[in-house]
Amino acid sequence: MEADLGPVTEKSTWRKRLRQLRASPEQKVEQQIVAGLTAFLGQRAGLFLFYRAMPTEISLDALADQLGWERFVTTRTPQSGVLTVHPAAGPMEQHPYGYAQPVAGAAEISIERISVALVPGLAFDLKGNRLGQGVGYYDELLARVPDDCLRVGVTTDEFIFPELPAEPHDVSMTHLASESGVTAMGELPT
């Protein structure tokens, strides 16, 4: 919770400021986050939804390496419509934004099978609010996951703030994962 961007303002203002601050995460920090998530997910059942990282996001590929790629599913961004979910171990192609995604026509997985969603974001706050890229794909996807699905925001401590702007359609996280570990929202300091 190091970066101070001032009082809560509009999401677009936050996005602009945060994109200027974001850089590729340090390998040591990624390793700490993956270690915390490995311990958190190790004994959990079900499928884990995760993202394939853009250059400024925490890569979770090492997590899938440790727990087994067959336990993970990931999204495909369609030409139009909503995100679809596919096996993470299947064939991938490069999205124009630089991350890997399942190839067109890959087998779809029912969203009802997801027990934990690992969610990227530009920033998160102590109430579980997420500031995404602004397209709305993840909010729509998270609104469709089962009610008992854990929603874990993945970030560094630097991008956890006391409060971010939020809208009624935003889906809150149940946990945050950072280099400090995986913490349930009710256990975070305010």
CA distance 25 to 156: 8
Query: Sorting pLDDT into bands at 50, 70 and 90, what band is 7?
Result: very low
CA distance 115 to 112: 8
Nearest to 116 by CA among 164, 178, 48, 186: 48
Percent of the chain with pLDDT over 70: 87
At 24 the pLDDT is: 65
Q: Which domains does the chain have, with CATH numbers?
A: 11-183 (3.40.50.10420)
Read off the pLDDT of residues 53-95 as tens digits, 9 standing for 90 and up.
887 788 999 999 999 999 999 999 887 888 999 999 999 999 8
Query: Sorting pLDDT into bands at 50, 70 and 90, what band is 1?
Result: very low
Helix (H, G, I), strand (E, B) or coil at 118: strand
At 165 the pLDDT is: 86
At 135 the pLDDT is: 63
Read off the pLDDT of residues 15-68 as tens digits, 9 standing for 90 and up.
777 766 666 667 888 999 999 999 999 989 999 999 998 877 889 999 999 999
At 177 the pLDDT is: 97
Q: Are 160 and 141 in contact (CB under 8 A)?
A: no
Tokens standing for residue 40: 């958190």
Check the CA dihedral 132-62-48-149 and report its sign.
Answer: negative
